Amino acid sequence: MKSIWAPWRMDYILGDKSETCIFCSKPGEKNNKTNLVLYRGKLSMVMINKYPYSYGHLLITPNKHVRGLEDLEVSEVNNLSLVLQKSIIILKEAFQPHGFNIGLNQGKVAGAGLEEHLHFHVVPRWIGDINFMPLLAETRVIPEHLDETYDRLSPFFKQLDI
């Protein structure tokens, strides 16, 4: 039997499970790499998902702590859409994915894990990226450590000025 190494999962297993909103607290800590914050604008931000579905999985969120898209001003929705678009462009340039899953789970019944703070998931996809592991072993294989993914994407996001 082979072992799959995913050391960042231990942080989740042993980590603080407090009710603190990561989208509100992590950006304020100012350690972007440790907190996987790639971009912090006036109205929105981009983070790497610490527990990704796939390689390069990003979370895009408004800075305003809201539950629903309808709770944002038009300017905030427009900004969020622009940051989402720019993030896709960056992922295409950095990783050359064949496609994307882009999702917004609004409300617990819809699958929102952090239902108190609206966020989009942007998951790059490649032909053949999902193999038998998720189906048979309920395990995902992420081919690169999160720190390396951060280092690869960070220069692209430093150029964003939205």
| pLDDT over 60 at 131, yes or no | no
Element (H, E) at 45: strand 44-48
Q: What value does the mean pLDDT take over residues 106-112?
A: 73
Q: Are 129 and 144 in contact (CB under 8 A)?
A: no
Q: Indicate which residues carry an active-site annotation.
A: 119
C-beta neighbour count of 56 within 10 angstroms: 25
Q: Give 17 or 45, the one with higher predicted confidence.
A: 45
Measuring CA to CA, which residue among 107, 116, 43, 47 is closest to residue 80? 43
More reliable by pLDDT, 108 or 112: 108
Cβ partners under 8 Å of residue 74, min gap 6: none
Tokens encoding 70:
């309808």
The token duo for 55 is 């390689």
* Weakest mean pLDDT among 36-45, 59-68, 114-123: 114-123
- Between 142 and 31, where is the model more confident? 31
Q: Is the per-residue pLDDT at 74 higher than 60?
A: yes
Residue 73 has which token pair?
A: 């001003």
Q: Give residue 138's pLDDT.
A: 54
- CA-CA distance, 95 to 113, in Å (whole number)? 26
Q: Which CATH number fits domain 16-158: 3.30.428.10, 3.40.120.10, 3.40.50.300, 3.40.50.2300?
A: 3.30.428.10
Is the confidence at residue 6, as pLDDT, over 50? yes
Question: Given pLDDT bands bounded at 50, 70 and 90, which one contains residue 137?
Answer: very low
Quick one: pLDDT band at residue 135, thresholds 50, 70, 90? Answer: very low
What is the DSSP pairing of strand 44-48 with strand 58-62? Answer: antiparallel
| Helices (runs of H) and strands (runs of E) counted in the chain | 6, 5
| Average pLDDT across the chain, whole number | 83
